[in-house]
Structure 1
Amino acid sequence: MAIESVRKIVSSSPYWPVVRHPVLRKILPGVGLSYIGDGMSTVAITWLALELAPESNKGTWVAAAAVAYILPGALGGILFGRVLSARSGAQLAGWDAVLRATALGLIPVMYVLDALTMGLYIALLAVSSLLHAWGTAGRYTLLTEVLQERHHLAGNAVITIFGEFATVVGPPAAALLIAWGGAATVIAVDAATFALLALTYRLAAPGTAASGTPRDQASRSAGFRAILGDRRLSGLLALTFGYFFLFGPVLVALPVLVSEDLGGSAATLAWYYTAFGVGSVIGGLITGYLRNWLLWPTTIGIVTGFGAALLPMGLGAPTPVVLVSFGVSGLIWAPYAATSTVLFQRSATPEQLPQVLAARGTVMIVSVPLGNMIGGPLSTAIGARQTLLASAVGTILLGAVAAVAVLRRRGRSAV
């Protein structure tokens, strides 16, 4: 009786049609492993950079390695539009996995051969990330291709859950593996997860027909042009950029606040990130159950709620309160990727979707680093706590502006 009850609960879950889909149930384990591998590499990449960099300017080289693993994806999102925009979701995601497996796999090989210079290391990291925007677009395009529309939110949420779970388990796993075999070993494991993912896409994904041919695409910027030509999509892209940009200073100001203002240690900072990560995993699990909510109000509400949850950090609340509020902010943060992606999926035509999602990915890639760049000088000028308060208030105002814009648009359409 109890087993039957559990079975009914599981089968009624919004995630059941996703994880039981004949294609996705073969692909999702590989996607999850690759996310964990990337979660481990967030630690290993900077750690190996510290090992390779000269003593005189380690900080500069570490920053260069971190940037090389992220920003070239934005460049690739624009440069390869003419070639990749008409490909199927499985092709886009699979090619990204192949490139990542190859470029990252060369790092430990060259390290073992004692031929890994700092310049070569940064070049390989940059190459590995070139198709990142298209790989992300491919994952979400594949979900659109194989799932019915009512399951898109749950499918997107599964990807979010993988990503957030990786931020919780990846770094500690990397620390253990670095202690055993070094940072290059962690990157080798990450490369292996992408090789497995590439093989999975090749063998398990359907031969989904592409939406056109490369010569059908007028330019490399087709995705951006499609977004700018649609007021809903351009507004959603602006909201997404602002949301992630305003989160950037938080990642810079929080360590400063913990170390200088609160007198905490690295362990204290880890507790903050753990609270956020646990909240994000829970938020990701909840996302699938929002399928009957109106997506525009929900997405805007997430932005506003996230800003409100950050307020205690900027207002000087006691540490236990701030820890809880940061965990709540993670819970609110997580559904945004899934709900906003559904809005893109429903607003773009099937022919436009890969380009539109790649353009969105390009913007997301650059938005947080730009926020990081603002966060450093701002923390120095006005203080870490005030920077966190500014991010919180700015995010609330962003949500309010978006809500007004949506209400005005609906008012005009009703006239």
Structure 2
Amino acid sequence: MFSVAPGRPAPGPYRSLFADRTFRRLLPVFALSDLGDGMSVIAVAWLAFALGPDGGQGALAGIAVAAYVLPGALGALILGRWMRRLPARRLLVIDSTSRAVLLGAVPFAHVAGLLTPAVYVGLLGASSLLHAWGQAGKHALFVPLFSDDRRLTANSVLSTSLWTATIAGPALAGLLVGVVSPAWIIGFDAATFAVLAFQIGRTVLPHVPEPVGVAAPVAGAQRGLGILLRRPELLGLLVVTWVFNLAFGPVEVALPLFVTGNLHAGAGLLGAYWAAFGIGAVVGALSLGAAKRLPLWPAILGIIAGHGIGMLPFALTHSPVPSMVGFAFAGLLYGPYSALSITLIQGRAPAEALTSVLAARSAVLLTASPLGAALGGFLLDRTGAPAVLVGSGALMIAVAPAGVLALKLFGRRTRRRRERTGEPPEQTHMSAAASR
């Protein structure tokens, strides 16, 4: 059976990691950029509410959130011919410079009175077109710096930076929205990308004989998708995760309206909600290291259902306490999800095609949350924020029994195939869960 028993990283690997001068120089600018993105979680939707027409604020907020993310999937597909041969450093500089310029145009257009909804969505969409390449370049940047055993530690530090930004960014933005326009918060995000581009551009990296880019993963994305389609277990995980992300998408646009319209509060409380979610996620991710053995498929479905249960207190609008506690609980469960799902893929995908499978998975999942945000925005103008938030939770809860049914069907299919072919029984989390 597949089990996850992550070992606790010893202090030694972290000491050797921070002993590297290049990593010490780059980590602060990555952390600063993560903070800017965390603040934009609040600012993008909040500015859309200010720009949207009466009765259409929710729809514009959904479109804006989608535009801030979704074009990255399109850019990964249509720009491969030109981008895939570039080294990781150049990919990151190009993406950071592009985002600095385009996001930086938002506050200046706002001051000039030119920031219409169409201009706003256009700037957000254009800024995200290269971001998938920039993120890929970020992770490929450290390949020539560290050996295999140190790369895992480096990725762990970068992930910690993202979760920390999830806590601090929205909370800080919530405080600043009461003082300055959210357009200037987006401008701060742009400035962090300018600093990132400058620092990456002036950093000397070890020479490698071949460009350390993302050509292989992107070029092999079709192959990875083919593997996912041929392996029901991996395909099932992809579908479940896509629906989970789709269900979470409306939260990003409904939560601001819940705070302002139902609780009659300001952006400070909205930041507190996201901070509670981020703190829960950090605690959940750290607790995963204490798990000795954890059945992956039951844990994955349990996380999705539990996350949905955490959204149900949004039906109570007399006080923020029940919903904030529920949101923190949802974050607590969400923290380990990515590690668990990646562990399942690592155990089931062919080792020689693992990169292609992960690339295909990322390309597919990138579409889910923005589509959910856009759908949530349109629903907001027809129902209300509590109904959208609770509905998102209900959809998550429904994923669990559907997943169990899929497990049983897959288990029966697997047993029949083995009976026909004479294959020896192989106990997996999926087949084990299906037999119970």
| Inter-partner Cα distance in structure 2 for 1:106 and 1:393 | 41
Q: How far does residue 311 in structure 1 lie from its aligned partner after superposition?
A: 2.4
Q: Following superposition of structure 1 onto structure 2, how do residues 172-321 of structure 1 map, counting pairs within 5 Å?
A: 172-202=171-201, 203-208=203-208, 209-210=210-211, 222-230=220-228, 231=231, 234-249=235-250, 264-266=263-265, 272-286=273-287, 289=289, 297-298=295-296, 301-311=299-309, 313-314=311-312
Q: How far does residue 226 in structure 1 lie from its aligned partner after superposition?
A: 2.2
Q: Kindly provide the amino acid, as one letter, of the partner of residue 337 in structure 2.
A: Y
Q: How far does residue 129 in structure 1 lie from its aligned partner after superposition?
A: 0.3
- Kept in 2, the 8 Å contact 1:89–1:142? The answer is yes
How many equivalent residue pairs? Answer: 398
- Kept in 2, the 8 Å contact 1:223–1:358? The answer is yes
Q: Kindly provide the amino acid, as one letter, of the partner of residue 311 in structure 1.
A: I
- For residue 210 of structure 1, give the secondary structure of its aligned residue in structure 2: coil
Equivalent in the alignment of 1:365: 366
Please, which runs of 5 or more residues in structure 2 have no aligned partner? 1-7, 426-436
More helix by share: 1
RMSD, matched Cα: 4.5
Matched, 1:170 2:169: yes
Equivalent in the alignment of 1:6: none
Q: How far does residue 170 in structure 1 lie from its aligned partner after superposition?
A: 1.6
Alpha carbons of structure 1 residues 77 and 233: separation in structure 2 relative to 1, 3 Å: farther
Q: How far does residue 330 in structure 1 lie from its aligned partner after superposition?
A: 0.8
- Kept in 2, the 8 Å contact 1:104–1:190? The answer is yes
Q: Using structure 1 for the length normalisation, give the TM-score.
A: 0.74
The partner residue of 1:396 within 397, 400, 404 is 400
- Kept in 2, the 8 Å contact 1:100–1:194? The answer is yes
Residues 356-396 of structure 1 show CA distances to partners (whole Å, capped at 9, x for unaligned) of 55543332332123334555659959955862552342242
Q: How far does residue 103 in structure 1 lie from its aligned partner after superposition?
A: 1.5
More moved, 38-47 vs 10-19: 10-19
Q: Kindly provide the amino acid, as one letter, of the partner of residue 197 in structure 1.
A: L
Q: Kindly provide the amino acid, as one letter, of the partner of residue 68 in structure 1.
A: A
The partner residue of 1:387 within 382, 388, 391 is 391
Q: Kindly provide the amino acid, as one letter, of the partner of residue 365 in structure 1.
A: L
Matched, 1:24 2:28: no
Q: Using structure 2 for the length normalisation, give the TM-score.
A: 0.71
Matched, 1:137 2:141: no
More moved, 221-230 vs 341-350: 341-350
Q: Kindly provide the amino acid, as one letter, of the partner of residue 137 in structure 2.
A: G
Q: Kindly provide the amino acid, as one letter, of the partner of residue 237 in structure 1.
A: L
- Kept in 1, the 8 Å contact 2:34–2:165? The answer is yes
Report sequence identity in percent. Answer: 34
- For residue 211 of structure 2, give the secondary structure of its aligned residue in structure 1: coil
| Inter-partner Cα distance in structure 2 for 1:159 and 1:252 | 27
- Kept in 1, the 8 Å contact 2:88–2:214? The answer is no
- Kept in 1, the 8 Å contact 2:175–2:271? The answer is no
- For residue 229 of structure 1, give the secondary structure of its aligned residue in structure 2: helix
| Inter-partner Cα distance in structure 2 for 1:256 and 1:109 | 26
| Inter-partner Cα distance in structure 2 for 1:17 and 1:394 | 46
| Inter-partner Cα distance in structure 2 for 1:405 and 1:153 | 36
Please, which runs of 5 or more residues in structure 1 have no aligned partner? 1-8
Q: How far does residue 305 in structure 1 lie from its aligned partner after superposition?
A: 2.5
Q: How far does residue 299 in structure 1 lie from its aligned partner after superposition?
A: 7.0
